[in-house]
Amino acid sequence: MFKEVKIYTIKCDECDFDVLSYSTSLGYRTTDDALSFAINEGWTETDGKHYCPECTAFIQEELEEQCKNTALEEEHEYKQATK
The model's pLDDT over 29-65, given as tens digits with 9 standing for 90+, comes to 999 999 999 999 999 998 999 999 999 888 888 777 7
Residue 27 has phi, psi (to 5 degrees) of 165, 175
The pLDDT value given to residue 64:
78
- Mind listing the pLDDT tens digit for each residue in 5-15? 899 999 999 99
Q: HEC profile for 22-65?
A: HCCCCCECCHHHHHHHHHHCCCEEECCEEECHHHHHHHHHHHHH
Q: What is the pTM of this model?
A: 0.68
CB 21 within 8 A of CB 57: no
